[in-house]
Structure 1
């Protein structure tokens, strides 16, 4: 008989975390290849839960609507927590590829929830009755926040406007990813190299050692490197004696994403501003700032 095909272990990003206080993320078991499928599974799981909540035939209550909505994202929340760590602190080429793929999908999933008219009708019913109900002050606050969030993100728009808004949000998610990855690329590739120990005058010993190690890791043993990252730049700007070198390092840092070439963000920023303005008008606000401050 042929050997049995071994069953694949569950994606570690989708299973409940083990341990006290809600559990501990399983970073020891995570592979970058697991992140995209985990996010996709989490979105599918939440959307299925949303369909159940929206289709519930019983009268809407805090428990079967508001609390159920909060519980619906548990799998996706676990996956996004690890995804956020990887994109924020461990973002190599593989992670960035996942981010480019998933950012617009996550935006679209969020809109599918906030634009679900049956779900919003249930939320609105709980919201309308909140002060006449037996809800605690904390529960009433959660109801208000949930209703406000949905309205803020277009729940009261018509179907055509909702589709336009979702398209804008997906474009903005893609552009925001482009913007941040361009900055990161400039941070990873930029450095000011120093050849003379006198150039380090004023720096604490730990900063000098870090600069020497940074140069060594870039194949420049015997030199010092001030990398294009805040943790490298700020000590140099704070302590270095030479004003001309401080200016050079400062200019490198503030020009991230603005130095021309493949990582230049000028066009990306212009597109983001234009799309934000369109979104604000679609949602009934004169500017993006007005929209951002609406629910604050």
Structure 2
């Protein structure tokens, strides 16, 4: 099931602390997962960066917001405990908490004043009420990455076929194949030779080769291209090959490659993603560090 928004976790988290005892976040993860019937798969879902589970991130921010509002306090590392104000909220009879309700507490107002993750003029204010600041930051990063991928692919399509073949070799070298660009470059230049556009070492020792077909196309690559390339590999007694295109592959082409088992298909979107990941054709414009409080630093022995 979809993981509830961090606001949905606020009241159950406060209610869990109603006994006045200190509770750990690990305990909260278990209790709330049971309350919302979350499966192991739900709890294992990661943020796009892969650095943290989406579920634990949302529960963590629910605790942070309640703490900023003064309804919870932190008696120790990774712990939370209800405050007198939090107990008063529970006794008021309210059954749901959200950001709007928390705005009555000065501590939360001040926190939100300093926490301008989403532009106040943006129409995404509703989104900010459903996602945590960590998720918003990652969403913005993904938007920028998608825009970069689109721009990158458009530029690649404007290049000459010869440049595209060199780009493919450079990318495969950056991914760990072929040793150096100079070594790999010597194997290129066989365009038209039984449908093989290039050959690159699979490993630095040159124990095996990967045969390449590079297609700077706008139209969808059909299954006939995959079958013809497979025949070319057989003529070369080659065990594996890669077809890289700036467009995409038909469903039958994808199924044919799966059935043959020795041909990898890389479409335009995947090509752009690989170029970004392995820094081919892109440069770093800015770098940001996201820092957190070092809780160990403040532990008193």
- TM-score normalised per structure 1: 0.37
Which structure has more relative contact order (CA 8 Å, sep 6+)? It is 1
- TM-score normalised per structure 2: 0.37
Higher strand share: 2
Find the structure with the greater CA-based Rg: 2
Higher helix share: 1
